[in-house]
Amino acid sequence: MFKPFENARKAEQVVQEILSAVRDGRLAPGSRLPDENTMALEFEVSRNCVREALRILETMGVVAVRHGRGCFVVDTAAATEPPRLWLYWLRAFESEVLDLLAAREAVETRAAQLAARRGQPADIAEVERLAEEMADLARTPTPEIEVFARLDRAFHTAVTRASQNSFLVTLAPGSWAASDRQATFRIEGRMLLSARQHQEIAAAIAARDPEAAGKAMSRHIRDVIEQIQTYTREAAKE
């Protein structure tokens, strides 16, 4: 039923794969999931990893573990309600997300500096275009988070390409996780702030100011880190 994967963040991916199976109807309400051994073999992960994923899904209200009988799907609505899904996901994987963002800050700050110094006119025009698209979308009454997340990823990809550094271009994709973006843009106010910060990064790169570009990128990623930490602290009090 499931496909194996190689990424180190395995519990997260088990959660995502089971949620996908619920959403597309492969697992209907009342369906019994395969046992832990079977899922561990299918996903090519440990049983502890499967247990952690099931614990998260149970807390989300997607599955119920019935001792002696197995694990059953109980609520397809929980698997398709974006705010509940993604914000819970952010709380469950906070430490991994923060580690990822720390790595991104190191790589992308340098990429922004080099982009300001080395970027070709076409590269810089693409960075500016994507920043404006993000700003336009963020100002709409009901912006589509999935579209904004794709534009965000494209923007950071464009900055890295503009650096003209082949090592950074090869290295950076490992720090671009779609799940992280889907979650953080659901924090209130994050999308508008992110759009403004991307415009600041683009303006510094276009002005050929490496110091300002690096500072703008670093400030942007540090703000994401601070917003996540604030959100999870407040959520823990509820």
In this predicted model, which residue has the larger pLDDT, 194 or 90? 194
Token pair for 73: 């799907």
What's the pLDDT band for 226 if we cut at 50, 70, 90? very high
Domains 10-80 and 84-237 share a fold: no
User: According to the model, what pLDDT value does residue 211 have?
Assistant: 98
Residues found in the chain:
238
Residue 83: predicted pLDDT? 54
Q: CB-side exposure of 207: number of CA atoms within 13 Å? A: 13
Bridge partners, residue 71, by sequence: 65
> What sign does the CA torsion over 225, 228, 234, 238 have?
negative
Neighbours of 95 (CB within 10 A): 9
Neighbours of 20 (CB within 10 A): 13
Q: Where are the domains of the chain?
A: 10-80, 84-237
Domain range 84-237, its CATH number among 1.10.287.90, 1.20.120.530, 3.30.1050.10, 3.30.450.20 = 1.20.120.530
DSSP characters for 171-210? HGGGG--HHHHHHHTTSTTHHHHHHHHHHHHHHHHHTT-H
- Determine the pLDDT at residue 55: 85
Tokens coding 175: 């720090």
Q: What is the mean pLDDT of residues 139-165?
A: 92
Q: H-type helices in 24-144, by residue range?
A: 36-43, 47-60, 76-80, 82-92, 94-118, 121-138
Pairing of strands 70-73, 63-66: antiparallel
Greater pLDDT, 54 or 3:
54
State the Cα–Cα distance between residues 138 and 11, nearest whole angstrom.
Answer: 31
Give me the percent of the chain exceeding a pLDDT of 90: 49
pLDDT at 6: 47
pLDDT reading at 100 higher than 50: yes
pLDDT greater at residue 27 or residue 178: 27
State the CATH architecture for 10-80.
Orthogonal Bundle (1.10)
Please report, rounded to a whole number, the percentage of residues in the chain having pLDDT higher than 70.
Answer: 87
pTM exceeding 0.95: no
Task: Read off the pLDDT band of 174 (50, 70, 90).
Answer: very low
Digit-coded pLDDT (tens) for 38-73: 999 999 999 999 998 898 888 777 888 888 889 999
